[in-house]
Amino acid sequence: SRICVITLAEAHPLLQSGKTIKNINYQISANCSRLQNKVSGKSKRGAQFLTELAPLCRITSSDGEEYTIYSCIRGRLIEVNENILSNPALLQEKPSTEGYIAVVLPKFEESKSITQGLLTQKEYEEVLLKRRSSVS
């Protein structure tokens, strides 16, 4: 179906550190809020177009540290998860289901090259192991 659900990775510092999430903000700049994204129709008219480096939201932890979450994928922003605004704990408790951040629809022509570049769960775990061993 080529939709991409953006979530926090298991290895994200917010999930690893046990920090409490204080705030989630979809206001990216003075003129851009992901909450203003209004999509309609089969062709998803009105959807904001995202590049790989487009910020989706900013998450602030209880210790004041701020994390910018990026799209990491080119495509149209189909929806943002407004439920995490009133219940930020969903990001940590159910990151891959109810705690998702956004849904992005890549261009049809690009969807195949995007999926070919993704890691399997096993490859991702190997990358994490290498990263942890190089840090310690």
The values of phi and psi at residue 28, to 5°, are -80, -40
| Average pLDDT in the chain | 86
Q: Where are the domains of the chain?
A: 4-134
Residue 78 and residue 103 in contact, taking contact as beta carbons nearer than 8 Å: yes
Q: What is the CATH number of domain 4-134?
A: 2.40.50.100
- The tokens for 37 are 């994204």
Residues 51, 63: Cα–Cα separation, whole Å: 30
Bigger pLDDT: 108 or 82? 82
CA atoms within 13 A on the CB side of 56: 24
| Percent with pLDDT over 90 in the chain | 36
The string of pLDDT tens digits covering residues 5-54 is: 899 888 888 888 778 899 999 999 888 889 888 888 877 788 899 998 99
